[in-house]
Structures are given as structure tokens and as C-alpha cells.
A and B are shown apart, each in its own frame.
Chain A
């Protein structure tokens, strides 16, 4: 069973550019969550998508956006990149939307996309 696939694994951008990251969840998983991880801030929740709808959003500026397709694949976009956006961006999938169901919050992470902004 394939795991969570994230592309690209590494990328370098310059300030002001925009970037799109892709995530393919485990087959059968319908929820995709995105996280930013930096050494100083740890894991920071960006947003969760379920059934092509954003269900929850973290405290990030509007430059960070995402979407989910009908096959549950998800993309996130960061526009007008800043130096502080340099981080590891992790995608995680789960069977269903995070919530009361006991298995809903069990996440499987992809390998991540490491973004460097120069």
C-alpha cells in the first residue's frame, strides 16, 4: 500500500515568487492536512481538507492557500514568498475528517517538501 506522496521533495525559490506543493494521500484516505515545521516553531497546522472543502485553518496569512481534488489529492500554494517561509512542509492523510471518531485523528505523514527561500 503506497504511503503519502509529496512532491517536490526539495525546492529553492527567491523572495516574491510563489510555490505550489502537491500531496497524494494514502488510497482510501479522504482527509489531508498540511503542516509547516521549522526548528524554532515546531509543527504548525496550516489547514485540513476533506471532501474538497477546507474544514479547518491555522493562523497563517492569506498567502497560504490550498485545495483538494475529487481524488483526494491536495495542493498548497504560497504566494509572495518571504524568507521566513523557509521550512519543511508536511502533508498528512487520515481516513476521515478530524473529529470525534476515534481513528479520525491518526495521521500518516508524507516525507515532506523542503522549501528554501533566498
Chain B
């Protein structure tokens, strides 16, 4: 069964520090990788996506992909209390269907 694994957390990070969120996947044929943020009581919203090995930066967010090790991570620099949310990792399988992780709850402490 194709799986996407995330630590459920909560992950507690001091304000201003770097938050590191990790995601592993089982399907070696996966091609596209997405990070969504979901605030409590709201719907998920796309933060960024990555297709190629290496790093992709967008403002305070950096996605890192390592296909050989089958993991993708999201780094949030200069964490703010407004970053407190659940972060969902989604991966397309070899049939290009999205498989979702259960999410990591992130808490930024002032």
C-alpha cells in the first residue's frame, strides 16, 4: 500500500527559530511533492511544491527533496506564531494520484 508518513507532533518551536517538518513516502515512482498548511477549522492551502531533487526556496519556506532516500522536508525560517498550523505533505504516486500524509501539528511559541 502506498503511504506517506509524517510525525503527527505536536512539534513545538520557539519564535524566530527554524521549524523542520519531515515526510517520507513509499512509492519510488512518485514525481510531485506538495506541502499544504491547514489552520484549525480551515481548509488546506498550498505552500509550495517541488519536483526535482534538491532545495526550492520561497520566502521563509524551503522544500527539500531527496528521491533516493524517499523523503521531502519543509523548513520554515524565522518562525512566527502565525505559522502555527497543521502541515500536510502530499505526494503523487506512480499513477499521478495524490497520496496524503496525516499531517504534522506545528506550534510556534512566542
- Do A43 and B42 form a contact, CB below 8 Å, given A102-B32, A105-B32, A105-B92? no
CB-CB under 8 A from B34, the residues of chain A are 105-106
Q: How many B residues face the partner with a CB closer than 8 A?
A: 20
Is B96 a contact partner of A99 (Cβ separation < 8 A)? yes
CB-CB under 8 A from B43, the residues of chain A are 90, 109-112
**Is A56 an interface position by the 8 A CB rule?**
yes
Is A42 a contact partner of B97 (Cβ separation < 8 A)? no
**Is A108 an interface position by the 8 A CB rule?**
yes
Interface residues, chain A, CB within 8 Å of chain B?
Answer: 42-43, 45, 56, 90, 98-100, 102, 104-112
The 7 closest A-B pairs by CB, nearest first: A109-B43, A42-B102, A43-B100, A99-B96, A109-B44, A112-B43, A105-B32
Known A42-B100, A42-B102, A105-B92; 4 more pairs at CB < 8 Å:
A45-B100, A90-B44, A105-B32, A105-B96
